[in-house]
Chain A
Amino acid sequence: MTDRFSPATILHADLDAFYASVEQLLDPRLRGKPIAVGGGVVLAASYEARAFGVRSGMPGRRARQLCPDLVFVGGHFSEYQRLGDAAIGILSDFTPSIERISIDEAFADVAACTHLFGSPAEIARTVRARVRAELGLPMSIGVARTKHLAKIASQVAKPDGLVVVDPDTELEFLHALPVALMWGVGPATEARLAKIGVTTIGQLAESSPKSVERLLGHAVGTKLTALAWNRDPRQIQMRRRAHSAGAQSALGRRPAIERVFKPTLHHLADRIGARLRAKSLAGRTITVRVRFADLRSVTRSLTLSAPIAATRALAEIAEDLVRGVLADHRNEKTISLLAIAVSNLEAHAMVQLELPLGLGDEGRRPGTKKGVARSRADRAIDAIRKRFGGEAVDYGSAVGGGRSVPDEFRRLVEREL
């Protein structure tokens, strides 16, 4: 599959500035103007706004400073879903071998359909033209021998372009690019690599694997070195079974205190719990991730004897875990991100009830009186939300946690695709 002589048949298709492009499509007056979806936080920015330095994830105030003419628009979330599905639908007219990785991007392997539709480059051109003609949206596509390189190629192709990487010259292409384009290299890793003088993928490839591992840890180091040489054995995964459910919330820079993390964790737990319950799943392992101001992350997890999906129970366990993390890092006063993941998932059919022994941990056990009451409350809330919408009802403890990102947006991003 990934031997040196295999042809470049993997496509990475990515809709450009997706949310902003949809808004400009829906309202012609916005076309050609710098716009941002969101308010408190920029969820997406049009290319016109990006020219001013506006980026997604940026506080709204900062964006306005950079671009005084910036137009903020509320999100048309159901339209994003519909158009995202339609774009991927066009891709799947060519091959069933598709791995959708978010609402607006997907991998496709066209190796088996070139005899029907032409070369991978021709297929990519047709897909782009059809998305433009049928949906009115710009899409960039990268074509390469591996998933990693295809994804990099699509980033290089943006905006509204196509880059096909020839296997004969792929390393020349790859090595000239900045490391930040690599999958898995975020600002923290980029800064660390810069310290040892590595800014391009070529420099990373030529660095001694030992020193990279020392810098980034064995697992990450080995992986990045392999990717820098375009060694990426990952294949298209057509149907991913959920092994875990997670959600995260970027906080900017907030003090590491209960008043900040409790409502956030509750809100995350609620989103995860609702998703698990909708699929009749429950999980035994709860993991939290706390990222501090310097982008260093600490994770902590707990495995229970019985799987849970109840919002309150998930939230309480997450709180305890975060308290544990903070107690071990007393000099960290600022947190920039909180995340919860639930893994070890099981189908949630029978519940073993528990003897009413009056022990302190009953809220975390699905089979206690309290646990049963909590699942009842969750079921009631799930039903109300299904009928009247996500904001119709909330848990007392989650009210008042200021949310910079609307929940419809969260659901869109976290939805199982």
Chain B
Amino acid sequence: MELVVRKNDLLRELQLFQGIVERKNTIPILANVLMEAMGDQLSFLATDLEVGLRSKCAASIAKSGALTLPAKKFYEIVKSLPETDIRIAEDKGGVKVAADRFDSRMQTLPREDFPTLPESGGASSATLPRSAIKEMVEKTQFAITGEDTRYFLNGALFVLRPEAMSLVATDGHRLALVTVTRDGKPDDAEEVKAILPKKTLGELARLLQEGDEDIRYERGENHLFFEVGGRLLISRMIDGQFPAYERVIPKGNDKHIEFERDRLTNAVKRVALLSNERSRAVKFQIDNGKVEVTSSSPDLGEAKETLPVDYGGASMQICFNAQYVLDFLAAVSTDIVSIELKDEVSQAMMKPVGAEGYDYTYVIMPMRV
């Protein structure tokens, strides 16, 4: 293989692979990116066996072929080079990467060791609007559990129906559900569900950062494919049963309070500074016309901030992990948010007020003494 490629073209693609390659390095080849040169294109592939990414860029190819290079080191080298042409050539001793007056030779691993990934072109596919998906990922990603024992919660459930699509994630303490309406074709399958790994969502969000193309989505037997602007994200599905999340969304929470989002965010942030460092508990004391957010910690002290609200119902108090409240407040963009409560031990429900184009429900369990 021998080619010349522009630094910025190469760098843009290599950057996208930094989150994909395996960091633990248990299987050496998974730290490498596979590059294939053919015609006037250089194509890339990397995977950690859970998530894979294919992409390509233009290059002038003197000799076609394929080779693998350590994704991280290769990226660092390319990044450090001046904006110029980069020459890549394979010889007996390794792979030559050169530009300007810089010269290097990198160790390679045999192309044959690189795993094969499933190809798209299977059963059901759909076009998904880019901005809606981006929004959905941002509003649910943070609620995915980090606990390995509940592997079926290590991702978000994607539900695709002809008239709407939803993404839902939970860590057992809070649940985030976002639904967007869509105009599916009448011959679309009734309902297609899949659990998307946390890492897949993160990489998808990265692919959606730039550009304006929509997403072509395809569900294979064990894999999902997301094609965005010529790049293809391939993800294993989490094999498991996502819990019946509809059941935990409270109905009949009779206490409704609205807050200005900024004021609530600032109050919770400030008060949480003196909360117990492990539990991060803040208390909401709700009375006629006001909500008092308080915290106390035997080692640190105590704090209080009063927020005037339009509320005339029964008084109550409820404790939350401040981080869970702040996660929601950071994920929404409306000026006003609402909270609906029943009692101090039942699910609370938070929603953005006046959100357009999507329906967002955040369910959060209180803390108790």
Is B a genuine binding partner of A? yes
Q: Report the bound CA distance from A361 to B148 in whole Å.
A: 13
Cross-chain contact B244 with A352 (CB below 8 angstroms): no
| Cβ contact within 8 Å between B365 and A354 | yes
* CB atoms of B173 and A349 under 8 A apart: no
Would A357 and B172 count as touching, CB distance under 8 A?
Answer: yes
Surface stretch bound by A, among B94-102, B207-215, B219-227, B276-284: B276-284
Query: Could you tell me if B170 and A352 are in contact, using CB atoms closer than 8 angstroms?
Result: no
- Interfacial chain B residues near A354, Cβ < 8 Å: 172-173, 365
A358 contact from B243, B281, B321, B367, Cβ within 8 A? B243
Q: Which residues of A contact B170 (CB under 8 A)?
A: 355, 357
Q: A346-B278, A350-B276, A350-B281 given as contacts; is B368 within 8 A of A355 (CB)?
A: no
A361–B150 CB distance below 8 A: yes
Which residues from B are CB-within-8-Å of A367?
Answer: 173, 365
Is B80 interfacial (CB-CB < 8 Å)?
Answer: no
Also in contact, A355 and B175, with CB within 8 A (given A350-B279, A350-B319, A361-B149): yes
Cβ of A414 to closest chain B Cβ, rounded Å: 27
What is the interface of chain B mostly: helix, strand, loop, or mixed?
loop
Residue pair A356, B247 in contact (C-beta under 8 Å):
yes
> Is the Cβ of A350 less than 8 Å from the Cβ of B368?
yes
Q: Which of B263-294 contact A (CB under 8 A)?
A: 276, 278-279, 281
User: How long is the Cα–Cα vector from A186 to B328 in the complex, in angstroms?
Assistant: 57
Determine whether A169 belongs to the interface, using a CB cutoff of 8 Å to chain B: no
- Decide: B367 and A350 in contact? CB cutoff 8 A: yes
A305 contacts B by Cβ under 8 Å: yes
> What is the chain A residue whose CB lies nearest that of B321?
A352
B248–A356 touching, CB < 8 Å: yes
Q: Does any Cβ of A come within 8 Å of B366's Cβ? A: yes
Whether a CB of chain B sits under 8 angstroms from the CB of A351 is yes
Are B368's CB and A351's CB within 8 A?
A: yes
Are B276 and A349 in contact, with the CB atoms below 8 A? yes
Q: Is A327 an interface residue (CB 8 A)?
A: no
**Taking the complex as formed, is A353 at the interface, i.e. its CB lies under 8 A from any CB of chain B?**
yes
Q: How near does chain B come to A76, taking the closest CB pair, in angstroms?
A: 40
In the bound complex, CA of A316 to CA of B299 (Å): 35
Question: B174 contacts the other chain (Cβ, under 8 Å)?
Answer: yes
Report the nearest A residue to B324, measured CB to CB: A352
- The yes or no answer to B164 lying at the interface (CB within 8 A) is no
Q: For the complex, what is the distance from the CA of A354 to the CA of B172, rounded to whole Å?
A: 6
A242 an interface residue at 8 Å Cβ cutoff? no
Q: CA–CA, A352 to B366, complex, Å?
A: 6
Q: Which of B149, B319, B365, B369 contacts A355 (CB 8 A)?
A: B365
Kindly provide the distance from the CB of B294 to the nearest chain A CB, expressed in whole angstroms: 14
Please give the distance in Å from A95's CB to the nearest CB on chain B: 32
Residue B363 CB within 8 A of the other chain: yes
- Chain B residues contacting A133 (CB-CB under 8 Å) are none
Give the residue of B147, B243, B321 whose beta carbon is less than 8 angstroms from that of A305.
B147
Which B residues are in CB contact (< 8 Å) with A355? 170, 172-175, 248, 347, 363, 365
- Contact (A359, B367) CB under 8 Å given A350-B279, A352-B321, A354-B173: no
Q: Is B345 an interface residue, CB under 8 A from the partner? A: yes
Contacts of B244 in A (CB 8 A): 357-358
Smallest beta-carbon distance A320→chain B, Å? 12
Give the chain A neighbours of B363 by CB distance below 8 A: 355
Q: Which residue of B lies closest to A351 (CB)?
A: B368
Cα of A359 to Cα of B363 in the assembled complex, Å: 17
What's the minimum C-beta distance from B273 to chain A, rounded to whole angstroms? Answer: 17
B365 interface neighbour in A346, A349, A350, A353, Cβ under 8 Å: A353
* Complex interface residues of chain B between 229 and 262 (CB less than 8 A to chain A): 243-245, 247-248
Would you call A352 and B247 a contact (CB within 8 A)?
Answer: no
- Residues 354-374 of A contacting B (Cβ, < 8 Å): 354-359, 361, 365, 367
Chain B contacts of A353 at CB under 8 A?
Answer: 173, 345, 365-368
Q: In the assembly, what is the distance between CA of A305 and CA of B245, in Å?
A: 21
Known A357-B245, A358-B243, A358-B244; contact A350-B369, beta-carbon cutoff 8 A: yes
- Give CA–CA (A113, B141) in the complex, Å: 64
- The reply to whether B279 and A352 contact each other, CB–CB distance below 8 Å, is yes
- Which chain B residue shows the least CB distance to A368? B172
Q: How far is the CA of A365 from the CA of B150 in the complex (A)?
A: 13
A351 to B347 alpha-carbon distance, docked (Å): 14
Cα–Cα distance between A356 and B249 once the two chains are bound (Å): 10
Chain B 106-148 per-residue mask, 1 if CB under 8 angstroms from chain A, else 0: 0000000000000000000000000000000000000000010
Chain A residues with CB under 8 Å of B172's CB are 354-355, 357, 359, 365
Nearest-CB distance from A283 to chain B (Å)?
Answer: 14
Chain A residue with the shortest CB-CB distance to B150: A359
Instruction: Determine whether the beta carbon of B150 is less than 8 Å from that of A349.
Output: no
Closest to B249 in A: A355
Q: Could you tell me the distance between the alpha carbons of A349 and B296 in the complex, rounded to whole angstroms?
A: 12
Assess A359 versus B243: contact at CB under 8 Å? Given A346-B278, A350-B281, A350-B319.
Answer: yes
Alpha-carbon separation in the docked complex, A351 to B366 (Å):
9
With A and B bound together, what is the CA distance between A359 and B149 in angstroms?
12
By beta carbon, the residue of chain A nearest B368 is A351
Q: Given A346-B278, A352-B279, A353-B345, are A358 and B247 also a contact pair (CB < 8 Å)?
A: yes
- How far apart are the CA atoms of A268 and B60 in the complex, in Å? 72
Cα distance, A338 to B281, chains bound together (Å): 38
Closest 8 interchain pairs by CB? A357-B243, A353-B365, A350-B279, A355-B248, A350-B367, A350-B281, A354-B172, A352-B367
**7 residue pairs bridging A and B, Cβ less than 8 Å apart:** A352-B365, A353-B345, A356-B247, A357-B170, A357-B248, A359-B243, A361-B149
